Amino acid sequence: MKIKRWHVWLGLIISAFFLWLAFRKVDFALVWAQLKTANLKYVALGIVAYFITLFLRTWRWKVLLLPMKPISVIKLFPVLSAGYMANNIYPARAGDLLRTVLLRKKEGVPISASLATIIVEHLFDGIAILALVLLNLGQLTSFAPNSQWVGIIEKSAFWVGLIFGLILLVFIGMVFLPEKMHGFTNWVLNHLVPAKLRDSLSGIIEKFTDGLRVLRSPLQSLLVMFQSVLIWVIETGLYWGVMKAMGFDLNFQSLLMVVGIVNLVLLVPAAPGGLGTFDAATKSMMELFGLSPENALSFALLLRVALWLPVTLVGAFFFVKEGFGLTTDLKSIQEEYKENDTNLAE
């Protein structure tokens, strides 16, 4: 899978910095001793919870795709799993690109339309995560009332929420005010885009708008929001399982707060799988809730393995089954499909 070199280097530099933050001033003998005492039965229970969220994510994607084509959860699950695998091992969220290619190949859904549904997924995930952070912020203030992180988290949540809200408003405008948005995009295309690209980009925007059609239905939008919140609450079960495995004692609300902050930090571009950003954010949050640096790091490392390994193995199976490999140039396949979609539209 060919990725631009600068994506790789940028991710590695950012990850190296966050790994330094995660591993500095830690007694690794104590970390290893703590890891050796882990009760893996609890980790297994947490992994079951995580795979439940994968099926919920597949159900949510099915709902988002309904205005274009009804596709069963059974058919979508391999596509979603392969995408998560790719996000874990390739830079620049290549898994999202893989999902659009696989869905086009298997179900004929236009690339731009499926990409729109994936972006809507991320938006609703962001809103759900922000809700977890804001609703459970009191848990953090009770453990660390004088911590500067409380104010930083509040400000960060506000700005991230504002950005997500503005993007969502633009998408809603594309759905409910198609004529005005069409006029605006035409102006942009005619004044800012080279003539040879205008027709193809116009077709891509049209297909992208098709992928947003679920937002026309308040009931379906509420369902997607409900699914998003449920996904993150159940995924917290994996954090709970790892916590119990390590013998720590935090309440579920505190873990919801940890989940929210860690996933906000994962918005920072880094190496695949959030290498470094995930580890530093998880360790820092667990320290704020009273764990020693060694215990916090051991929790982060075991959680990383539990989050990364099972879904990567499952996704890799479906990835290879579809005939893809490390040298597959997904970008070229995606562009070829986009061109075909544009020709069909014309």
- Note the pLDDT tens digit of each residue in 245-280: 999 999 999 999 999 999 989 988 888 899 999 999
Amino acid at 283: K
pLDDT number for residue 156:
78
Q: Which of 57-61, 92-96, 169-173, 320-324 has the lowest mean pLDDT?
A: 169-173
Percentage of the chain with pLDDT > 90?
Answer: 50
Q: If you average pLDDT over residues 183-189, what whole number do you get?
A: 70
Distance CA 132, CA 260 (A): 6
Phi, psi of 325 (to 5 degrees): -150, -175
Residue range 144-173: mean pLDDT, rounded = 75
Local confidence band at 14 (pLDDT 50, 70, 90 cut-offs): very high
pLDDT of residue 344: 47
The confidence score (pLDDT) of residue 198 equals 63
Provide the pLDDT for residue 150. 67
Record the pTM: 0.85
Does the structure show a pLDDT above 90 at 177? no
